[in-house]
Structure 1
Amino acid sequence: MKNDATDPLRPKVEARLAQQLATRLQQAERQITPEQSERLKALRLMAVAQIQPVSATAAVAQGRALSLVGPSLWRSWLFRFGAVLPLIVLVVGLLVLQDYQQERFIRVTADIDTALLLGDLPPAAYADPGFARYLKLER
């Protein structure tokens, strides 16, 4: 696929298109009646009169106000829900993870208790410090 930015003919085609457009506009200008010309002039003056000059300080103040208020989309409940949804998913995920860890701890503890109760040794043997060292060495 050829990239338009590297096309050497592009400036020539754009210049030719601009020349054709200027020619057509000049032809259309010749066909405007004096009445249409006066109406266009009046409309142009009305449009210029409606433009209110904005000072630089007002534009900066308006920009600060807009940045503090935020986009108008905040008013939409769907946008708010979309912004809060990741937080809700995070909290639910942490609660599920905590429940899983707790169930795992209970299962491991139950397996240890079962092994102790079903084993051949008496429970007093597990309280002996020498037996604890022996178990550590066995592993």
Structure 2
Amino acid sequence: MNTSKHSQFAQELDARVARFGLRVAAGLSERNQALPADVSERLRFAREQALLKARSARAAQSELAPSTQLVRNGASLALFGGKGSPRWLKFASLMPLFMLVLGLALIQHGQFYEQILAAAEVDTALLADNLPPSAYSDPGFSEFLSDEQD
């Protein structure tokens, strides 16, 4: 439904643009009859030059067009060069994602290892000291341990 509205809007827009272009061309052609001959000749030469530039621009664009093609894969668009892309290109496009996941896994492992080392230091300090059992229930005991380690 949405695509039909979009295509209908595009067709209506194209028709309006074409009508506007025809009106402008008719107005210019009408006033062209009243121009002096030298002005008409300069306009004709400028028109030919513009057409040559437009043709060369279209030719250059058509030479570049086959090198990049849009290929529709499901709900996403991907740029590929030609019918079959090489395997190394597919691998290279997935490499940044793989490296990101690997980096995040290494960071998580490092954080986990640091937490284990911190807990081991606290346990070692607790087991090495001669403290009465009431000291473990004291609320300031954890502060004492953190001050002693610094």
- Normalising by structure 2, what TM-score? 0.41
The structure with more radius of gyration? 1
- State the structure with bigger RCO (CA 8 A, min sep 6), 1 or 2: 2
**Which structure's residues are more often strand, by fraction?**
2
